[in-house]
Amino acid sequence: MTATDTHCPYCALQCGMTLTPEIPRVRLEPRDFVVNKGGLCAKGFSAADLLDHSDRLLTPLVRKGQGLREASWDEAFDRIVDAIESAQKAYGRDSVGAFGGGGLTNEKAYALGKFVRVSLKSSSIDYNGRFCMSSAATAANRSLGVDRGLPFPLEDVASARTVLIVGANPAEAMPPSMQYLEGTRFIVADPRRTKTAAGAYLHLQPLPGTDLALANGLLHIAIREGYVDEDYVARRTTGFEAVRSATNAYWPERVERMTGVPETQLRQTVRLLATEGPAMILTARGAEQHSNGTDTAQAFLNLALALGLVGRPFSGYGTITGQGNGQGGREHGQKADQLPGYRKLDDPAARAHVAAVWGIDPDELPGPGRSAYEMLTDDRLKVLMVLASNIAVSAPNSNRVLQQLRKLDFLVVSDIFLSETAALADVVLPAAQWAEEEGTMTNLEGRVIRRRRALPPPPDVRTDLEVLAELSRRLGRAESSDPRTVFEELRRASAGGIADYAGITYERIEQEDGVFWPCPAEDHPGTPRLFADTFPTPSGKARLIPVVHQDPAEMPDRSFPYVLTTGRNMQHYQSGNQTRRVRALTVALPEPRAEIHPDLARRHGIADGDLVELRSRRGAAVLRARLSDGIRPDTVFAPFHWPGANALTNPALDPHSRMPAFKACAVAISLHTEGTE
């Protein structure tokens, strides 16, 4: 049997693994790839269990009454095309749209964006990365001129001496990455004592939604105590004086009252970052999934720039991407306002370049569309295609989103399993899995790697590229379904853009353990490290931008007195559509657990293992209680891998990134009696 070197289907580490088809099952082994160095987490080790799972979708399904029945591909395509043409004739082009995913390969993300804008001629497209990296991306673009999650290789983290990790739990979300923190003095800012925080040199425990005040407070101390790198600031940045003025109000005693982080810890954190270098600041969703998430990411960027970290060896600022292709997924056109190469859809030069590659007039391209939550809850949307996303579970205020999905004239879902979203569809398309297709992914470092096909898909299963090509053909446009051909076109479309892939080929990826973008030519070495000499801004300098703390969009009150925050468990991934079907993972963690402080539990007569009901202004969820003194007494944690948590979350949107406020909403808690509804 032939062994195939490929990559894990889960998080943005994209760990290397080897697959060998054997009878009766595929054998999966970790590979000594440069990122994971032979390590895999429980999810990675069990990934092959998905390939022959009994729940696997093996044929198209179409709605018949209240249920779904098997159908041919021709019938499925006929129904989809009829629905598209009828809706656009009656309601206009933007009445038909698509929702993509951060797990799609670069080729599929590119093809989906092109399909919507060229074949459908619609502006209605966004993807689940809007719910992931959008705030960090917006802050990085406006301050540094480019958004690449880590602007340096992961291996650089191991050479840092001090690392501040804000709102991330890599010990559970991406365990192989923890090897890079061994030997570093890392500090964790998180309202919970997570597995990551438990191993930290220092754990800051702020109230959810106060990270911006924390960052401004740290910068205030750095300024007052003379830790600012004045030479770096003068040579390499603009805007510092406005930021200096904006942080005057964040003296340590006030920040302690706002965040709950003791003044001694604030001062210790600044001293370590400033004097125990090289130093890094890494942020993630805990800080960014707020109605002020962009400004929060900006506040930590300001701190990193003021300390002179960005662009220095083994120092810097980065954001930890979550989804497998969260980086590449937002670079090549499935985001509402973007064209391939990270070009802006409202930029005339960008429109002209991409239109020339696509063989159309720039005026034929639609303008920017609505962001994810806005599109999903807009009555003007009548037909929706969903690829690689389970929005019925993962969207904020999920009851409202479910209501809108049921109101659609027509819903199409492409997936490997009958997810909660697919169960609502009018047509369900069985998709090829990660080990059954070719393509490229871009990991959290900006390293473009190759996903290689290890075995063929089942006989009546197609790849998403094949589906998009066939729908385009039926709508009058010829497109390729060959991944290499699509990637060659992507290279041309991205050429000259911020995320320039022009010099990256499948062959180079294989020879070089991946290639870092930007890579404008085949003789270019790629760019593992950004910002060493300049920033890709008009002035060549990074911009410091003053930001001011605002309370979360929803504050606790007498009716809803506690703060709910959401996040990951080690055993599961995203909406759980895959991992909730893997026996080893469900045995380890079969149900969601609400993490509650013993003092809060005692107040409500709750014991460990009891069922509790969490209520917000939008809905209710019942979870099993897990008592822990590692969480703040005013805060409740719930994992988002099951239906329920996002029935509670607040869809208040960040004004810059349109990120919903997943990480802080007001809830009430009560004991739930088993067997009652």
213, part of any domain: yes
Are residues 146 and 291 located together in one domain of the fold? yes
> Residue 314: which CATH number?
3.40.228.10
Q: Which of 300, 320, 340 is the last residue of a domain?
A: 320
Within-domain flag for 659: yes
Q: Read off the amino acid at residue 104.
A: L
Same domain for 305 and 334, yes or no, is: no
pLDDT at 677: 47
As given in the structure block, the two tokens for residue 587 are: 């045995």
Residue type, 359: G
The one-character DSSP state at 167 is S
How many CB atoms are closer than 10 A to CB 412? 24
Specify the amino acid at residue 648: L
In angstroms, the first-to-last Cα distance of the chain is 53
- Flag whether 552 is in a domain: no
Q: How many CA atoms lie within 13 A of 108 on its CB side?
A: 32
Task: Give this prediction's pTM.
Answer: 0.96
Long-range contacts of 342-348 (CB under 8 A, 24+ apart): 342/146, 342/147, 342/494, 342/497, 342/498, 342/499, 343/497, 343/498
Amino acid at position 459, single letter: P
If asked whether residues 338 and 464 sit together in one domain, one would say yes
- Domain shared by 301 and 397, yes or no: no
pLDDT at position 299: 98
pLDDT recorded at residue 1: 67
Last residue of some domain: 288, 320, 352? 320
Q: Are residues 340 and 488 in the same domain?
A: yes
Please tell me whether residues 427 and 502 are part of one structural domain.
yes
Q: What whole-number distance in Å separates Cα of residue 419 and Cα of residue 127?
A: 17
Structure token pair of residue 554:
């929803």
- The enclosing domain of 629 has a CATH number of 2.40.40.20
Domain boundary among 320, 348, 367: 320
Instruction: Write out the two tokens for 642.
Output: 């099951």
Domain count, the chain: 4
- Regarding whether 395 and 489 lie in a shared domain, the answer is yes
Residues 316, 331 share a domain: no
The single-letter DSSP state of residue 647 is G
User: Which candidate, 273, 305, 344, places its Cα nearest to that of 543?
Assistant: 305
Instruction: Give how far Cα 293 sits from Cα of 167, 249, 353, 404, Å.
Output: 11, 20, 32, 26
Residue 25 is predicted with a pLDDT of 86
Q: Is 211 helix (H, G, I), strand (E, B) or coil?
A: helix
Which of these, 409, 13, 311, lies nearest to 176 by C-alpha position?
13
Those residues with Cβ within 8 angstroms of residue 342's Cβ, 6 or more apart along the chain or in another chain: 146, 147, 330, 331, 494, 497, 498, 499
pLDDT of the residue at 451: 96
For the packed helices 106-114 and 464-474, what is the interaxial angle rounded to 10 degrees?
Answer: 20
| 501 shares a domain with 373 | yes
Range of the domain at 667: 562-671
Domain at 358, CATH number: 3.40.50.740
Task: Return the structure tokens found at 603.
Answer: 């107040």
CA separation for the pair 598, 612 (Å, rounded):
14
Same domain for 262 and 384, yes or no, is no
Largest CA-CA distance found in the chain, in angstroms, rounded: 70
DSSP SS3 for 249: helix
Among 187, 191, 210, smallest CA distance to 296 is for: 210
Is residue 532 domain-resident?
no
Q: Is 92 left (phi over 0), alpha (psi -120 to 50) or beta?
A: left
In angstroms, the CA 104 to CA 463 distance is: 11
Pair 301, 346 in one domain:
no
177 domain-assigned: yes
Chunked mean pLDDT (size 10), the chain, 677 residues: 93 97 91 96 96 96 96 98 98 98 97 98 96 94 96 97 97 96 97 97 97 98 98 98 98 98 98 97 95 97 98 96 90 95 97 98 97 98 97 97 98 98 98 97 97 96 98 97 98 97 97 96 98 96 97 96 96 95 96 97 97 97 97 96 96 96 97 70
Q: Does some domain include residue 374? A: yes
Do residues 666 and 564 touch, judged by C-beta distance below 8 A? yes
> Are 325 and 444 contacting, i.e. CB atoms less than 8 angstroms apart?
no
User: Which residue shows structure tokens 């800080």?
Assistant: 287
- Do 126 and 139 belong together in one domain? no
- Is 502 inside any structural domain? yes
**Distance (Å, whole) CA 548 – CA 140:** 17
Q: Is 640 within a domain?
A: yes
Q: Does residue 24 sit in helix, strand or coil? A: coil
